[in-house]
Amino acid sequence: MISFVMLAVLSCTDEKKDAPAADAAGTNTDTPAGLPYTATYSSNWNSNVSDADLKTVLQSYKDWADGNMKGLSDAMADTVDIDLTSGKSMHMSHDSLMTMWGKSRDSLSSVVISMDAWHKMYSVDKKDEVVVTWYKEVDTYKSGKADSGYFHDINMLKKGKIVWFSQYKRPILPK
């Protein structure tokens, strides 16, 4: 009987030796062997981002949709790096960013956002807090023209403020 129990324990141990190691937070600390790439930024993520930071990001989308530029402004850091869907990247002061976004929002009569999903991501080794979002947005311009798309955004936060915003768009094609 004892040898059967020992055999069972050893076989369970052998099955688990190929699994990646985990730290106390339950995150992977090792990259599994045999992967064709090694992450240049980080592959050690968990979801340890505060609900307050998640709310800051989601509220910024609500403020954009509602035309509440003061609320959107409150979510942004003193300087923000942005990557636009056009491929253009900018490092902007808070005031310059809000001026640019204010002009853009002023050209719209309505914005409707349907938030499909979000995910909180914390880079354990880099100590970066990120909220990624997936949503559909329909913009109606004051001229009556409409533009819509499916978006995937990356929002990085430091001290409760958005410091990096990167946006990717897939147009909604007519059927």
CA-to-CA distance for 119 and 142, rounded, in angstroms? 33
pLDDT value of residue 113: 98
**Nearest Cα to Cα of residue 159 among 75, 83, 63:** 75
> Could you tell me the residue ranges of all domains in the chain?
45-171
Residue 82 pLDDT more than 70?
yes
Q: What CA–CA distances, in Å, run from 169 to 2, 50, 83, 86? A: 61, 27, 11, 9
How buried is residue 167: exposed, middle or buried, by Cβ count under 10 Å (0-12/13-18/19+)? middle
CA-to-CA distance for 47 and 58, rounded, in angstroms? 16
pLDDT bin (cut points 50, 70, 90) of residue 11 is very low
Average pLDDT over residues 109-119: 98
CATH topology of domain 45-171: Nuclear Transport Factor 2; Chain: A, (3.10.450)
pLDDT per position as a tens digit, 36-47: 999 999 999 999
Average pLDDT over residues 51-65: 98
pLDDT value of residue 86: 95
pLDDT value of residue 23: 47
pLDDT per position as a tens digit, 135-151: 999 999 999 999 999 99
pTM: 0.81
Write the single-letter amino acid at 54: L
How buried is residue 4: exposed, middle or buried, by Cβ count under 10 Å (0-12/13-18/19+)? exposed
How buried is residue 156: exposed, middle or buried, by Cβ count under 10 Å (0-12/13-18/19+)? buried
Average pLDDT over residues 50-64: 98
What is the overall mean pLDDT for the chain? 87
